Structure 1
Amino acid sequence: MMNRKEILDGLRHSPTVDVCVLGGGINGISVFRELALQGVSVLLVEKRDYCSGASAALSRMVHGGLRYLENGEFSLVQESLVERDRLLHNAPHYVAPLPTTVPIFATFSGLANGVVRFLGLTRRPSRRGAVAIKAGLGIYDFLARKRALLPRHQFRGRKSTQKKWPALNPAICGSATYHDAWVSHPERIGIELLRDALSAGANAGALNYATIERADAGEILLHDKLSGEKFPIRSRLVINATGGWIDMANGTLFPADDRPAPLMGGTKGSHLIVDNPALHDLLDGHMIYYENEDGRICILFPYLGKVLVGSTDIRVEDPDAVRCEAEERDYILQSLAFVLPGVRIRPEEIVFQFAGVRPLPASKDSFTGRIPRDHFCTLLEGRDGVPPVLCMIGGKWTTFRSFGELAAEIALEALGRGRRLDTADRAFGGGRAFPKDRSGWIRNLSKSTGLSVDRAAALFKRYGTDAKDVARFIMAGPDHPLPHANYSARELLYLIGKEAVEHLDDLLIRRTTLAITGELSLAMTEAALDLLAAEKDWPELRKAEERSRFLTLMRDRHGVAEATLSARNEQRSELCETTARSG
């Protein structure tokens, strides 16, 4: 990525760009990439870290949206299925098929209610029986029939279902299995898309920890949140891709007496990461996609050696204040106990929790599940020196590429520019030149760099074919181990230097999966902080502030106390010793 100082210096000397994209989540990065690859002069501005909001809090599913069929959103489901299949092709290092099993508790339940919901005559959720599920899965298969990358759905009766999953609620009468996909490292996909955009050349620049705002004179000010510096920039068009923050962002761009009507009405979804090996194993690689007793859809599937369980759907007013509350945690655990009544989760087995705001359009619907999940763009005319603002409304993670493409087409038309390349089949990051023989590729990496086969395999799992660049960096200088057997200092230094890491949470929560998998110890936190502080040349006071900031964030937003991290020191130490002996 371009050096932050170089980008800021360039804007001071040449403060005009064609497009300024506000918001560095997955949709903002997507439209930024689309425009950058067309040669448009474009600046991306993100007030926190890239993919640190809703784009870090998704359910880790890459899917068509089976339940959206009830809302009549057939075009969205079809578009999502197309984009799902493209991600399986373009990002095979992070996106993989996921067999998904739906427990069925009745035959005809929900059929009539599903029809009237489809017609808009009721908002009430209801349980879905075998006939309703069969109809939905039939449509799902039909919409994906031309590509047929994944197997068609199948049904199991009560006996065969109980034989395969004996822990399921005994009240079931059968099950259905279909295939969607899951994403292992969604935040890293954002970083790789960003790097792909920046590969276009000097016409593209991106800044995290920065904002833009309207000045009194009608100028747009760029505010570097790290240095505190502000200076004016000019842009022919602003794209507001801030998701749940769209209305708040518009409030900073338009005069107080002439602000647009609210556009967003997001809902909060919370998830838990559970470390329960028995639960992980009984899932047998499947996601269980089930209805809680109140009709709310919940999910449960293996995730990086742990189990992800979610989610809730609650209206929120302040997207900055969202976190998984105690009652949400209780609801998720209750739903798990309903579908798997013999499973009990101890509090200490919840190793991480997260919550995010779904960027849904403004709606007064009393049932949040009926709010449309589709995406569209709204163009607000410029006022008092502020350029036109194109707002990206709605959207789901799976469709980030097509949504970015849509917004880019509108922007290109406004600029009088044409498209010169298509991203539909453009692999990115570690998905480029992805090998059919993964084991052979890993052995070759080990042989060419001198890293052990196990270490090369770990790098390939984390970075795909980009592991080659990481491995070369590791071997190019003196390295030393860290309090985690699978990481070394040079790997973290690579991430700090190449991926715009400015805070400890950027590194430990988003550039790596250490935090979300419950593998982060206090000792590893301190070691990572030492590396980051040295690279940033922080004095001791600044380093202490960063430590406090990170530990507070882990406690308040992710339910992980300092004492928990400290207790993991001994666990990680024992694991490292075991790994060393086995090696």
Structure 2
Amino acid sequence: MAKDWSAKDRAAALAKAERDGIDVLVIGGGITGAGVLRDAAVRGMNVLLVERGDFASGTSSSSSKLVHGGLRYIAQKQFGVVRESCQERDLLLKNNPNLIRPLPMMLPAHEGSKAPLWQLRAAMWIYSALANFRASTRFKILKPKEALKHCPDLKADKLKGAALYHDGQADDARLVLETIKSARDKGGEAVNYTEAVSFEHDEKGKISAVTIRDMLDGKVYTLHPTVVINAAGPAVERIRNMDQPVASPEVVAAKGVHIVIPSGRIKSDVCVNYETDDGRYIFMIPWGDVTIIGTTDTFSKEIDDPVVHAKDVDYILSATNKAFPSAHLTTNDICSVFAGVRPLVAEKGEQNKKPDEISREHRIWEDASGLISVAGGKLTTFRTMGQEVMKKALSRFPKKFRKKLKPVNTKDMPLRQDNFKAPELEKSLCEKFNLAAKSARHLVKNYGADALEIMNAAQPDERQSIGNSYFTYAEIPWVMQHEAATNLTDILERRMRMAILAQDRGVPEIKKIAEVAGRAAGWDEARIKKEEEGYLARIKKRYTIQPD
């Protein structure tokens, strides 16, 4: 049974941290911070994570949702990144089979392609070698006719063949939430909408206290952690500057834009990684009722609230229509759009490179004040990043303290109990609650074994699909009670993902959605109306194309 974790628990968690003290404070509730939190919690440490927005409200909910080995990094000779990514991808697939799913990938080669077919074959052998030729890296070089069977809409003219291989696919925001929930099960704590405001230093210049503010009620707390870890993503240098000015900024922000179209618009049973006119590669990713296409890669100053501009969409549509000429995509086909900002660490001499030329390796800084900061890296490698950060943090504690900690091996530790048979659980949901098969599939994929609990706990009028989508009203009260969702945007953007994965984004049913949430949270009519309007405004700003 899922552990309670609602907005009502926030104040008690912050007060306890102030009163009893903590070993580690993690600033940042994306995938990197979640990985650090879990590693510390598994060791038996008293650890608190604070996030000034909602969990995964930044980069970690706006990725391509791929858990991949980084095939393209071979061309940049980032062999260490590829080796580590392949290993972590395989572990995630093994440990969390219903959370991370295998995804067939196809990389076509046309006459005149940046990577001709012989290079693709060579790259696939290197890819396999870096993964020690594990079964997960088996590949096949397809003939043109074979490639077109997988994707009939792919450009056939001058097609020389394609590489077919497998990576993984996951809901990025769900991955963050399950990592944090796993950490909480081990004794860690996390609070959203809580901002680190300032640091206090002792006579030696070391951080002695951190002032944090609850963004919902304005209350201020003073914490005294032994170690502070800054995992604030694109805002990592903002936190470092709050401690002491950064002499030479090293983190650059790169914006990635995706568009979402109905799944039938491009016929394909694989994810296709195709080349653009400027030599980049973007993904066409099947995902249930929709297809996600992206991403762009441009430097940006939109760190906090990136939006999608018309020129970003034009770039994706132009490249996609050339790769799939029979599709004839226009903006009228777009269900939703979204943008995220990746923090890239630019080493000396890399500032003038293009974003896709900058290494995806992560970097850890240890400042004189004791602040440990981490940035860069990939969604796939969050576990090893958290482990590496915590190894550095442990050196700050007395040997006597370290000896009391639990031995850690997160390598074989699943994020949630995923050892059930999905088809059997889906069938049970359909039979017991007269649920549509696609809704049962969604519940099991998103919530795992908790899917049955969600439906059991729901009111009779909540055990139904929202409009024509596979999402259900039953999820709304459950995520508020068990996943710290505080408002309607938390629910629809990051817990259920309707903002990008539902073709109408939940807008036609927003009134009933808000009423169900209000009933669960005890909101009055004014609050329900405010939440409804807030979500619609959010859709208009973040998930709708903005003029250039």
Name the CA shift for 1:428/1:366 in 2 (closer, same or farther; >3 Å): closer
2:383 corresponds to: 401
1:10 corresponds to: 16
Task: Give the drift of 1:488.
Answer: 4.8
Aligned pairs (5 A) from 1:531-546: 531-546=516-531
Aligned pairs (5 A) from 1:176-215: 176-201=162-187, 204-214=188-198
Number of residue pairs matched by the alignment: 523
SS of 1:273's equivalent in the other structure is: strand
Aligned counterpart for 2:415 among listed residues 420, 428, 448: 428
Asked if 1:251 corresponds to 2:238, the answer is no
Aligned counterpart for 2:250 among listed residues 251, 263, 274: 263
Question: 1:525 corresponds to which letter in structure 2?
Answer: I
Task: Give the drift of 1:519.
Answer: 4.2
Aligned pairs (5 A) from 1:525-536: 525-536=510-521
Moved more, 540-549 or 364-373: 540-549
SS of 1:39's equivalent in the other structure is: coil
CA distance in 2, matches of 1:291, 1:458: 32
Question: 1:411 corresponds to which letter in structure 2?
Answer: A
Contact 1:93–1:463 under 8 Å retained in 2:
no
Task: Give the drift of 1:35.
Answer: 0.3
CA distance in 1, matches of 2:272, 2:93: 21
1:273 corresponds to: 260
Task: Give the drift of 1:358.
Answer: 1.3
Aligned counterpart for 2:444 among listed residues 454, 460, 464: 460
Asked if 1:524 corresponds to 2:527, the answer is no
SS of 1:149's equivalent in the other structure is: helix
Task: Give the drift of 1:316.
Answer: 1.2
Aligned pairs (5 A) from 1:86-101: 86-101=91-106
Name the CA shift for 1:393/1:8 in 2 (closer, same or farther; >3 Å): closer
Aligned pairs (5 A) from 1:6-45: 6-14=12-20, 16-45=21-50
CA distance in 2, matches of 1:234, 1:394: 27
Aligned counterpart for 2:220 among listed residues 212, 230, 239: 230
CA distance in 1, matches of 2:155, 2:200: 62
Contact 2:120–2:163 under 8 Å retained in 1:
no
Asked if 1:175 corresponds to 2:175, the answer is no
Asked if 1:241 corresponds to 2:227, the answer is no
SS of 1:84's equivalent in the other structure is: helix
Name the CA shift for 1:304/1:482 in 2 (closer, same or farther; >3 Å): closer
2:206 corresponds to: none
Task: Give the drift of 1:29.
Answer: 0.4
Question: 2:424 corresponds to which letter in structure 1?
Answer: G
CA distance in 1, matches of 2:451, 2:70: 32
Q: Which has the higher contact order (CA 8 A, sep 6+)?
A: 2
Aligned pairs (5 A) from 1:546-557: 546-557=531-542
Aligned pairs (5 A) from 1:30-429: 30-106=35-111, 127-150=114-137, 152-162=138-148, 165-201=151-187, 204-214=188-198, 219-254=209-244, 258-279=245-266, 282-283=267-268, 285-362=269-346, 363-382=350-369, 388-416=370-398, 417=402, 418=405, 420-429=407-416
Name the CA shift for 1:341/1:252 in 2 (closer, same or farther; >3 Å): same
Name the CA shift for 1:220/1:445 in 2 (closer, same or farther; >3 Å): same
Name the CA shift for 1:489/1:269 in 2 (closer, same or farther; >3 Å): closer
Contact 2:121–2:163 under 8 Å retained in 1:
no
1:115 corresponds to: none
Task: Give the drift of 1:293.
Answer: 1.5
CA distance in 1, matches of 2:150, 2:532: 47
2:467 corresponds to: 484
Name the CA shift for 1:129/1:47 in 2 (closer, same or farther; >3 Å): same
Moved more, 494-503 or 129-138: 129-138
Task: Give the drift of 1:171.
Answer: 3.6
* Cα displacement string for residues 39-62 of structure 1 (whole angstroms, at most 9, x for unaligned residues): 111110001111111101111111
2:544 corresponds to: 559
Tell me the C-alpha RMSD between the 2 structures: 2.5
Task: Give the drift of 1:397.
Answer: 0.6
Name the CA shift for 1:130/1:551 in 2 (closer, same or farther; >3 Å): same
Task: Give the drift of 1:157.
Answer: 3.2
Question: 1:298 corresponds to which letter in structure 2?
Answer: I
Question: 1:209 corresponds to which letter in structure 2?
Answer: Y
Name the CA shift for 1:235/1:79 in 2 (closer, same or farther; >3 Å): same
SS of 1:50's equivalent in the other structure is: coil
Contact 1:276–1:345 under 8 Å retained in 2:
no
Question: 1:8 corresponds to which letter in structure 2?
Answer: L
CA distance in 1, matches of 2:62, 2:158: 31
Contact 1:137–1:178 under 8 Å retained in 2:
no
CA distance in 2, matches of 1:165, 1:440: 31
Give the TM-score taking structure 1 as reference length. Answer: 0.84
CA distance in 2, matches of 1:225, 1:478: 33
Name the CA shift for 1:276/1:83 in 2 (closer, same or farther; >3 Å): closer
Moved more, 87-96 or 415-424: 415-424
CA distance in 2, matches of 1:295, 1:66: 15
CA distance in 1, matches of 2:387, 2:200: 33
Question: 2:45 corresponds to which letter in structure 1?
Answer: V
Question: 1:11 corresponds to which letter in structure 2?
Answer: A
Contact 2:66–2:168 under 8 Å retained in 1:
yes
Contact 1:155–1:174 under 8 Å retained in 2:
no
Question: 2:174 corresponds to which letter in structure 1?
Answer: R
Name the CA shift for 1:102/1:5 in 2 (closer, same or farther; >3 Å): same
CA distance in 2, matches of 1:70, 1:457: 38
Contact 1:263–1:393 under 8 Å retained in 2:
no
CA distance in 1, matches of 2:391, 2:434: 45
Task: Give the drift of 1:481.
Answer: 4.5
Contact 2:36–2:387 under 8 Å retained in 1:
yes
Name the CA shift for 1:292/1:223 in 2 (closer, same or farther; >3 Å): same
Contact 2:271–2:283 under 8 Å retained in 1:
yes
Name the CA shift for 1:312/1:406 in 2 (closer, same or farther; >3 Å): same
CA distance in 2, matches of 1:488, 1:100: 30
Task: Give the drift of 1:166.
Answer: 4.6
